[in-house]
A and B are shown apart, each in its own frame.
Chain A
Amino acid sequence: MIGSVELNLRETELCLGLPGGDTVAPVTGNKRGFSETVDLKLNLNNEPENKEGSTTHGVVTFDSKDKSSCPKDPAKPPAKAQVVGWPPVRSYRKNVMVSCQKSSSGPEAAAFVKVSMDGAPYLRKVDLRMYKSYDELSNALSNMFSSFTMGKYGGEEGMIDFMNERKLMDLVNSWDYVPSYEDKDGDWMLVGDVPWPMFVDTCKRLRLMKGSDAIGLAPRAMEKCKSRA
């Protein structure tokens, strides 16, 4: 590719962390480190323990008997492990409160959005304000939908790596899932383009699209990928 294009590559890179932040580590080759991508782990090999305690960064715990759960990662500040359905306030009310409290100071209320996964029999709801990054969200989602097969690739390879061209090509044909969301304007966007706080404010709905359906979203990423090759 022409050298002048490569100079601007960093800005146009499909970066799945905060843009321009120094947390973005230099990329070696095409594959990004785990912490810098939103990898949707949809593998069956999630240990059952993941469901119980918050082993990773304040993931919603389904086993609410685990009252004293604390994250095992000492580096992160102790995330408040929230219990599903507690306090007993209707999600309608929770959603209304968050849109009312946008401008006021003080702790933020919940932002519940529906999550659908193509092929799954039912939808879920997540409270985006419970997570601090795309990372945490993808962990929670993979826990939620771990009972569904993710296709041909097992284990580590199941992760969707946006910067891996081979993976993107396979997206077209495989059962891998691409996370997309509907924003305030009603448009369907690829998860990960905007800073996390902006995403939480604008996301109205999440959809884990089958790779083949994500063609409309993916080609942009594919082109950027090719241009870096």
Chain B
Amino acid sequence: MNYFPDEVVEHVFDFVTSHKDRNAISLVCKSWYKIERYSRQKVFIGNCYATNPERLLRRFPCLKSLTLKGKPHFADFNLVPHEWGGFVQPWIEALARSRVGLEELRLKRMVVTDESLELLSRSFVNFKSLVLVSCEGFTTDGLASIAANCRHLRDLDLQENEIDDHRGQWLSCFPDTCTTLVTLNFACLEGETNLVALERLVARSPNLKSLKLNRAVPLDALARLMSCAPQMVDLGVGSYENDPDSESYLKLQAAIKKCTSLRSLSGFLEAAPHCLSAFHPICHNLTSLNLSYAAEIHGSHLIKLIQHCKKLQRLWILDSIGDKGLEVVASTCKELQELRVFPSDLVGGGNTAVTEEGLVAISAGCPKLHSILYFCQQMTNAALVTVAKNCPNFIRFRLCILEPNKPDHVTSQPLDEGFGAIVKACKNLRRLSLSGLLTDQVFLYIGMYANQLEMLSIAFAGDTDKGMLYVLNGCKKMKKLEIRDSPFGDTALLADVSKYETMRSLWMSSCEVTLSGCKRLAEKAPWLNVEIINETDNNRMEENGHEGRQKVDKLYLYRTVVGTRMDAPPFVWIL
């Protein structure tokens, strides 16, 4: 089989970087499996409980980069109790003991402690890159260890984490010899920032390309920072309130003009809208714009800015832009690939800022659009059919109609036909989120047409078990299925147990599955962890005479090669 020496094969494998492809390579034959595992440097683990650190290290001893994901997606919306799990500590301990040359660690929805960060910072001499997304459990003290001990730190990227800000001096913990920073993102920190330490750090980091500040960095500091980092590519602005005539504003204008490499802009957490014009000179270079936190900038100012952004590929915005604003986007941003429109009114006061018209306009104007997340008040089947016709290239389509169960607002029909049109037209659709009034019919369409679908999010939808069955039987590539508040029960859950071996996970909350159904599933599938998250008194489930028929509040099941996890809290019952 092997005409070439192992080293040559390995060299060929070096060009194969995607995880899927590498996994496929390792299945070809024993020899390739062996070569592949010794040469694999980057490992992606989508569910930290699907395996354990020991198995990881046994198979990939030359590991340099690890990506781990912990809590299920619905944890983002407070559906998973805080102590559920996803602790990174055992992973870092095992990696430290094994003396593997870890350089990069990327974590999502995991519990990270200061202790973990300290151990991480001391255990790996060549550690370069730390990316934490939606994590929690640590403070700025942990960041101080990273800053102080990681001599070759390149990236410190903190995205939307819950960090206890001890208002300490973590920024001053970067030694004067640290000049290797490329990415520094601390936008999610709430407290004050040592501006002097920050400015010194930026001044001695010639490779700094991405800088995202928190709201405690005022305009004059921003001006100085940009002046000493004209090579900036990705900027997150913190606080932006000011008086446009002041000296700092003029300095900022001058600094911005010099940042000819700037391609990505975000932040504006506290923004004085009329100052956005300072950025107009560089807008024609921007490929990414995130104004989704800029609650104080109203439609007209957003539109003025966007009119200059002809090369935009990615836009994250609030629905305050309105349908009219989206029409401007559609006519200006012909390169647009990804759009996210977030709700500015979260209490649901009936503020109809964007409707189906905005979505249709975008689909008509932006031929390269492939990913969309759209929060709106109303939708129609006709609009979705038009969108499907205009944009058959969707890879990700997430529509969230704010009011659960809302029908087509013109015909009062369910939105089955609209979503059906989307899945039928978009042959490459990998991710779909549904909303509005939906019957079993939409799931029939999804099962029939969504052949590439990997992730499906369902809320307040469907009529009977048939709905869920259509999806499980039809979507061959399904990896993550998450369902809430839908009438799917044991029949659907148990119909094809072997299906779950092909999926990463299934989440069902406030559905019709019962405890006995879950128990039967656990018996049939010992290679699954079937977790019942029960926030009421766990003992009640046992003692209650009708225990079998009792509905399960939250079910989370996932395939695993290492059996029941040992770190589950008492309210998580693993069957």
A interface vs B, CB < 8 Å?
A: 63-65, 67, 80, 82-94, 96-97, 99-101, 103-104, 106-110, 112, 114, 121-125, 129, 147
**Residue B400 CB within 8 A of the other chain:** yes
Residues of B within 8 A of A (CB): 74, 76-79, 81-84, 134, 160-162, 188, 269-270, 292-296, 342-349, 351, 375, 400, 402, 404-405, 433, 457, 459-460, 484-485, 510, 535-537, 569-571
Assess the B404–A107 pair: CB atoms within 8 A. no
Contact B349 A88 (CB under 8 A): no
CB distance B510 to A64 under 8 Å? yes
Is the pair A107, B160 in contact by a Cβ cutoff of 8 Å?
Answer: no
Indicate if the CB atoms of A110 and B347 lie closer than 8 Å.
yes
A residues near B349, Cβ cutoff 8 Å: 106-107
Chain B residue with the shortest CB-CB distance to A63: B510
Partner among B294, B346, B460, B570 whose Cβ is within 8 Å of the Cβ of A89: B346
How many A-B pairs with Cβ below 8 Å? 117
Query: Known contacts A64-B485, A87-B400, A104-B295: does B78 contact A92 (CB below 8 Å)?
Result: no
Are A97 and B537 in touch, CB under 8 angstroms?
A: no
- 29 example contacts (A-B, Cβ-Cβ < 8 A) are as follows A64-B404, A64-B485, A64-B510, A83-B404, A85-B484, A87-B400, A89-B342, A89-B343, A90-B77, A91-B76, A91-B77, A92-B134, A94-B346, A100-B269, A101-B295, A104-B296, A106-B345, A107-B349, A109-B344, A109-B346, A121-B83, A121-B571, A122-B82, A122-B83, A123-B83, A124-B81, A124-B82, A129-B347, A147-B535
**A111 shortest CB reach to chain B, Å:** 10
Interface centre among B82, B270, B400, B433, by most chain A C-beta atoms within 10 angstroms, is B82
Given contacts A121-B569, A123-B83, contact A107 B351 (CB under 8 A): yes
Supply 17 further A-B pairs (C-beta < 8 A) apart from A90-B77, A101-B296.
A65-B485, A67-B404, A67-B405, A82-B347, A87-B375, A88-B457, A88-B459, A92-B161, A93-B292, A100-B296, A101-B295, A106-B349, A106-B351, A107-B351, A109-B346, A121-B571, A122-B84
Binding site of B, secondary structure by majority: helix, strand, loop or mixed?
loop
Q: When the two chains form their complex, are residues A88 and B295 in contact, meaning their CB atoms are under 8 A apart?
A: no
In the complex, the chain A residue whose C-beta lies closest to that of B512 is A65
Q: Does A107 lie within 8 Å of B347, measured CB to CB?
A: yes
Determine the chain B residues whose CB is within 8 A of the CB of A67 once the complex forms.
404-405, 460
Which residue of chain B is the closest to A83 with respect to CB atoms?
A: B404
Find chain A residues with CB under 8 A from B347 CB. 80, 82, 107-110, 129
Q: How far is the CA of A64 from the CA of B402 in the complex (A)?
A: 14
User: In the complex, which of the residues B342, B351, B459 contacts A86, with contact meaning CB atoms closer than 8 Å?
Assistant: B459
Kindly report which residue of chain B lies nearest to residue A80, judged by CB atoms.
B348
Which residues does chain B contribute within 8 Å of A112, judged by CB atoms?
78
C-alpha spacing A85/B77, complex, angstroms:
5
Give the one of A106, A122, A129 with max B CB within 10 A: A122
Pair B76/A87 contact, Cβ less than 8 Å:
no
**Residues of chain A contacted by B351 (CB below 8 angstroms):** 106-107
How far is it, in angstroms, between the C-alpha of A125 and the C-alpha of B134 when the chains are bound?
16
Hey, which chain B residues are within 8 Å of A109, CB to CB? 295, 344-347
Please state if B77 and A86 are interface contacts (CB–CB under 8 Å): yes
- Determine which residue in B78, B79, B460, B537 has the highest number of CB atoms from chain A within 10 A of its CB, and name it: B78
Which of the residues A82, A103, A122 comes within 8 Å of B571, measured between beta carbons? Answer: A122
C-alpha gap A92/B343 in the complex (Å):
14
Query: Would B510 and A88 count as touching, CB distance under 8 A?
Result: no
Residues of A within 8 A of B433 (CB): 88
On chain A, the residues within 8 Å of B270 by CB distance are 100
Q: How far is the CB of B542 from chain A (nearest CB, A)?
A: 14
Residue pair B82, A123 in contact (C-beta under 8 Å): yes
B403: min CB distance to chain A, Å: 9
On whether the beta carbons of B76 and A110 are closer than 8 Å, the reply is no
Q: Are the C-beta atoms of A86 and B510 separated by less than 8 Å?
A: no
- B539 to chain A minimum Cβ distance, whole angstroms, is 9
Given contacts A109-B347, A110-B346, contact A85 B78 (CB under 8 A): yes
| A90 pairs with B134, CB closer than 8 A | yes
**Which residues on A sit within 8 Å (CB–CB) of B77?**
84-86, 88-91
Partner of A92, one of B79, B162, B342, B400: B162
CA distance A227 to B433 in the complex (A): 61
CA of A63 to CA of B83 in the docked complex: distance in angstroms?
Answer: 22
CB pair B78–A97 under 8 Å, yes or no, is: no
Of A93, A103, A123, most B-chain CB atoms within 10 Å: A93
Complex Cα distance, B485 from A87, in Å, reads: 13
The closest CB in chain B to the CB of A129 belongs to B347
B81 proximity list for chain A (CB < 8 A): 122-124
Q: Return the contact of B79 from the options A82, A85, A99, A124 (Cβ within 8 A).
A: A85
Q: Which residues of B contact A121 (CB under 8 A)?
A: 83, 569-571
Most chain B beta-carbon neighbours within 10 Å: one of A82, A89, A104: A89
A88 to B402, CA, bound (A): 9
